[in-house]
A and B are shown apart, each in its own frame.
Chain A
């Protein structure tokens, strides 16, 4: 059934051939080892985070009156809610490690060198986006830990001369960490950063395809 449906569209669009030629059939260097998997693992963790994140979006409410209650509901009442939140949490933590190891591997193998400089640059952006995900996501449960750690974080730019205080106010959406901070962190976490990730990831992947995986040592 599904195969027939694919057939119908493939006859018109020819995507199977394109996909085979552009994605699947590319030669990779021989003797490629397991350290080459960290990038793929990072991508896998991003997918785990996206699916569990969307599931929690059905229940979480980004309001200072309800955020904590809805997180409690997900954690204790919702069937499979606790594993979903826990998978989100652990994937996020392991992702930071996977990104770090991926960068180390690329560095040690000199894979950032000409002509792959911009693979590295998009990767650095993705690294920054990952940290921003972690920072904004940490506030969302609106518990003591979230509130006070974020408070320190948003006030850190204040030490920058001239623009610093304004930057802090911009992060908080006002003079204090409150309702508007939570909504903007939420919007950044679930809308802005995922879109940025997709854009930079598309560039990252496209360049890998065009320039190939760098040869192992």
Chain B
């Protein structure tokens, strides 16, 4: 009986040892791998920078212009060109810039000359000329960007100002 009891405790001890060791290795290793895989979700941020986007005088007609800007940025391991689409309206020294990214699911919106609204081709979201969402699925207005005219050049800051 006592022998039997000893045997059971020994078995229990061995089983617990195997469980703890394999568990610790699995959690440690898996945790390390998952941390590393997940980390860019937090660390890989796009930082705003001032980018030149053409001559202000050529754009100064009070109309929206669709401008694709290309600039050097860091995206994970890539240090190279990234692209971004903005709508810009220049009135003399005054510049108004909107991000083209629909706040619903990220498609690029198009400016509709007839209605003076921005329309999203994906799910028919509509924004007015100030970027306010007026109909369709979007619940937020288009993001604004800082923009200015400097030495006759149009300068845009790529950081999005969420409304």
Direct contact of A and B (CB under 8 A): yes
Q: State A162–B77 Cα separation when bound (angstroms).
A: 44
Does A81 touch B at the CB level, under 8 Å? yes
Contacts A66-B77, A69-B77 given; does A58 touch B29 at CB 8 Å = no
A146 to B115, CA, bound (A): 61
Q: Given known contacts A51-B33, A52-B29, A79-B43, what 5 new A-B pairs fall within 8 Å (CB)?
A: A51-B30, A55-B32, A55-B37, A80-B39, A84-B32
User: Which B residues are closer than 8 A to A by beta carbons?
Assistant: 25, 29-30, 32-33, 35-37, 39-40, 43, 76-79
Question: Inter-chain contact count A-B, CB under 8 Å?
Answer: 45
Q: Tell me what chain B mostly uses at the interface: helix, strand, loop, or mixed.
A: helix
Q: Are B36 and A78 in contact (CB under 8 A)?
A: yes
Q: Across the two chains, which residue of chain A brings its CB closest to B76?
A: A73
A72 to B76, CA, bound (A): 11
Contacts known (A55-B37, A58-B37, A78-B39); A83 close to B77, Cβ less than 8 A: no
Contact with B along A64-94 (1 / 0, CB 8 A): 0010011011100111110110010000000
A83 to B33, CA, bound (A): 10
Select one of A61, A66, A74, A84 contacting B33, CB under 8 A. A84
Q: Among the listed B36, B40, B43, which residue makes an inter-chain contact with A55, where contact means beta carbons less than 8 Å apart?
A: B36
A contacts, CB < 8 Å to B: 44, 48, 51-52, 54-55, 58-59, 61, 66, 69-70, 72-74, 77-81, 83-84, 87
Which chain B residue shows the least CB distance to A82? B36
Residues of A within 8 A of B76 (CB): 59, 73
Give the residue name and chain of the A residue nearest to B33 (CB): A55
- Give the nearest-CB partner of A69 in chain B: B77
Q: State the CA gap A52–B37 with chains docked (Å).
A: 11
* Assembly CA distance A83 to B40 (angstroms): 16
